[in-house]
Amino acid sequence: MSDASGTFAAAAAWEIDDCWRRIGVQGDRSCPELETHLHCRNCPTFEDAARGLLDRPLSADYRAEWAAHFAGEKAGETDGDEALAAVVIFRIGEEWLALSTSVFEEVAEPRRVHSLPHRRNGIVRGIVNVRGELLVCISFATLLGIDKDAEVERRDRSLHFERLVVIGRANGRIAFSVHEVHGIHRFRPNALTAVPGTVGQAASAFTKTMLAWQGRSVGILDETRLLDAIDRSIA
Amino acid sequence: MLFLMFRLGRDRYVLDVEQVEEVLPFVTPTVLAGAPHGVVGAINYHGGPVPLLDLSLLALGRPSAAVLSTRIILIRYPVGEGETRRLGLVAERVIETLSRDPADFVPSGVEAGMPPYLGPVAADARGLIQLVRAEALLPPALRDILFRQLATSP
């Protein structure tokens, strides 16, 4: 803006004294403040310099661009009071799935599953100890018929985010392991699409609707049918 | 309780975040010709007009600097009977929030001589922080002019 120079004395003086490069951790480390702050990032001088970046003058383009942005419709908003639904998104094998937060109890570190005698088949993998409570651990991959070994394709990932997920149902809690938990995702009901009739995916029997998320289609599982199926399988 | 901090000149002021709807960048306002002192125009906020008040202009007599840290605080301004209208406040250095106990704010002792929108003050290591009451920011006469003008404009 052309009038910025006259109105704000500090605007002219936002040139940064980069003391962290001269006497700080990127310089010769001779700054006496390093004794107390250990690293420049803890130092109030560094903080003030960072704040000073916000005292740079605004360009007319910036203001006009934002004016146009806020003049438009609010992104993704149809009705301000419309209720948001929330799901937890997780991955098993190649499939990204979502389950309503209402049945989610806990996401825990993966731990050893103790197998049960005579229950080597089926969906029950054994029991796990989650903070002192013994829970039945089931295999979601088997229940939903997902190819668990598809994860091998993701070997390029340096980190594994395997987690144990605990969900609640009417008669107790139950655990299953997933390969990755993305976290809670909130969406408006209009973000949902119906499950395509031709879908060949194994999980489709339990999939209620599809949710577009980060360029993927995530199947939202029907918690009632899922919990019923679990109850039948472990009875 | 959380407060949103801004500056008028060198001094720090806070607003209760309960009243704040959003903090916007300093967008270019549409000038309302003949608007009263302190009103710098109106902005188009998702299709609806929101009047814009420059706090520096009201309190210090000079407009807020056009720098990145100058932002618009969009507040819900009470207009009686539980109704609120949006009002934009242009303020400098809207870059921090502050968590304080509301009981820390005590009368400054010179309220009689102050403008009506200034409230009690709280102290910290760097000086005093003044609480601004958004309800009192517009004198009733100005409020009537402003919202009537916007309501009747096409």
- Name residue A47's amino acid: E
How many domains, in total, are found in chain B?
1
Report yes or no: B93 and B7 within 8 Å, Cβ to Cβ: yes
> Do A178 and A95 share a domain, yes or no?
yes
Interchain CB distance below 8 Å, B28 and A64: yes
Does B72 score more than 90 pLDDT? Answer: yes
> How distant, in Å, are the alpha carbons of A102, A113, A127 from that of A134?
22, 10, 6
Interface probe with A: pick from B46, B54, B62, B74, most Cβ of A within 10 Å:
B46
Average pLDDT over residues A218-234: 83
- Residue A3, pLDDT score: 41
| Angstroms from B103 CA to nearest CA on chain A | 28
Does A2 score more than 50 pLDDT? Answer: no
Determine, yes or no, domain membership for A149: yes
Length of chain B: 154
Q: What does the pLDDT look like over A89-99, one tens digit per residue? A: 888 877 888 88
> Do A18 and A66 share a domain, yes or no?
yes
Determine, yes or no, domain membership for A188: yes
Q: What is the C-alpha to C-alpha distance for residues B41 and B50, in angstroms, rounded to an integer?
A: 9
> Do A107 and A213 share a domain, yes or no?
yes
Determine, yes or no, domain membership for A42: yes
Does A18 score more than 70 pLDDT? Answer: yes
Interface probe with A: pick from B6, B45, B68, most Cβ of A within 10 Å:
B68
Contact residues on chain B for A77, CB-CB shorter than 8 A? 46
> Do A139 and A219 share a domain, yes or no?
yes
Residue A107 burial (CB count, 10 A): 14
Among the partner-chain residues B46, B67, B92, the one whose CB lies closest to the CB of A57 is B67
* CATH number of residue A201's parent domain: 2.40.50.180
Contact residues on chain B for A53, CB-CB shorter than 8 A? 68
- Residue B59, pLDDT score: 79
Confidence of residue A6 (pLDDT cuts 50, 70, 90): very low
Percent of chain A whose predicted confidence (pLDDT) is above 70: 78
Residue B86's Cα: distance from chain center in Å?
A: 11
Contact residues on chain B for A55, CB-CB shorter than 8 A? 67-69
Q: What does the pLDDT look like over A184-217, one tens digit per residue? A: 888 877 777 777 665 555 556 788 888 888 888 8
> Do A18 and A109 share a domain, yes or no?
no
> Do A197 and A109 share a domain, yes or no?
yes
- Residue A155, pLDDT score: 52
- Residue A181, pLDDT score: 87
- ipTM comes to 0.74
Among the partner-chain residues A7, A70, A73, the one whose CB lies closest to the CB of B43 is A70
> Do A150 and A185 share a domain, yes or no?
yes
Contact residues on chain B for A4, CB-CB shorter than 8 A? 65-67
> Do A197 and A124 share a domain, yes or no?
yes
> Do A94 and A66 share a domain, yes or no?
no
Q: Which of A44, A71, A98 is the last residue of a domain?
A: A71
* CATH number of residue B14's parent domain: 2.40.50.180
Does A9 score more than 50 pLDDT? Answer: no
Q: Which domain holds residue A24?
A: 4-71
Q: What does the pLDDT look like over A23-58, one tens digit per residue? A: 888 888 888 888 888 888 888 888 888 888 888 888
The structure tokens listed for A234 are: 């472990």
- Residue B113, pLDDT score: 58
> Do A136 and A189 share a domain, yes or no?
yes
> Alpha-carbon Rg of chain B, whole angstroms?
15
Q: What is the C-alpha to C-alpha distance for residues A213 and A190, in angstroms, rounded to an integer?
A: 13
Q: Is the pTM above the cut of 0.80? A: no
Report yes or no: A56 and B68 within 8 Å, Cβ to Cβ: yes
Q: Which domain holds residue B35?
A: 2-152
Interface probe with B: pick from A48, A55, A70, most Cβ of B within 10 Å:
A70
How many domains, in total, are found in chain A?
2
> Do A115 and A222 share a domain, yes or no?
yes
